[in-house]
Amino acid sequence: MTEPSYSLPTIRLKPKSNARAIRHGAPWVYDNELVTDRRTKAIAPGTIARLEDAEQNFLALVAVNPNSRIFARVLDRDEAGVIDAAWFRAKLATALAHRETLFEAPFYRLVHAEADGLPGVVIDRFGDTCVVQPNAAWADVLIEPLAEALREVTGVTTVVMNGTGRARGLEGLEEKTEILSGKVDEPIPVPMNGATYMADLMGGQKTGLFYDQRPNHAFAQRLVAGKKVLDVFSHVGGFALASLAGGAASALSVDSSAAALDLAEKGADAMGKSAVFSTRKGDAFDVMAALAEEGETFDVVICDPPAFAPSKPALEKGLRAYERVARMAAPLVREGGYLGLCSCSHAADLEKFRTACNRGIGRGVGHLGRSAQLIHTGFAGADHPLMPQLAESGYLKALFYRILP
């Protein structure tokens, strides 16, 4: 825990840095915005410090990591603030109140990083278990008091730390996954939109399940009654299981992970839908090409790939990949059917993603004399709030098209 702010180390903005942005809510300070000397560079990653403007006026209490381009993350704008157990409890209680307003059952994203006042921290809740992703050095240092406050505020018995992923690498943090309290014996069944998903909290992707697609699953359910559905990049069943819960006649899940598809099959079995659910393991592009060769078509095709453009340097390559997905998926949709295309890339904004998809659809079915209409644009759910000053928090986009004759 930290001491009163007057005893903390101090870092200072350069004279030409934008102090006003910090005062108006910007959550990050980059290394090139600060006066960095031998003393500041020697501050241990995860240390809480005072941030001042060039005139030595207090701006915020921040978490410092000299190993990251994001040198400081804003924690509190109160100079008298103390980052202690009570501070954690207050942040978590505020986050919990919002989720309990939204959901009857305790299955949701509980903390969405900066937007919930815990920068770099993601917490997903699975009933009596929470999975914490401490993607910033300060949260790694304070993981034990954070976990203790989490148990006190929510009443969960099991807390898992999932310290994997690209974000931790950017912070210079090691990868590790461990159970901080309680136990995890097997995948946890998660009810969502009438479907049942099996979440592997110890060996699955991210925290074990993607709650962000919940509203897009719900929209897709309005399109699928009595229909044949293809779910590409399915993970543990994603849109396929949601479609079956929405009355689809059949659903096929495609993914490169045998473990993910096994969990999808277990979810379908738990729903009593095994007879109308099937899987196909393989590279998504290869499988889509094979389906086209086989003459297969579907009433609804939905593609939810991984982040092809996780950073600005990867943007152009990522947009080409999204275009390729759309080009290969569109011909698999029957005339009058629906195509859903998703992106979870921070670097690809909505306009760029939509342009790539439109181009891909045109190249995929334009030569057949067919066209498309964009019928719906979806985003992450309300348990994934956006921070207005942080464009990266609006990462998820879902475009739904109708493929016309």
Active site (catalytic) residues? 344
> At CA 267, angle to CA 266 and CA 270, rounded to 5?
85
**Rounded-to-integer distance, Cα 388 and Cα 281, Å:** 39
**Could you please report the per-residue DSSP string of 255-303?**
ES-HHHHHHHHHHHHHTT-GGGEEEEES-HHHHHHHHHHTT--EEEEEE
In 3D space, the residue among 362, 358, 344, 355 whose CA is nearest the CA of residue 398 turns out to be 344
Confirm if 376 and 402 have CB atoms less than 8 A apart.
no
User: What is the residue whose two structure tokens read 């849109």?
Assistant: 239
**Rounded-to-integer distance, Cα 123 and Cα 384, Å:** 11
Type of residue found at 74: V
> At CA 253, angle to CA 240 and CA 207, rounded to 5?
75
Type of residue found at 241: L
Q: Maximum Cα–Cα distance for the chain, whole Å? A: 71
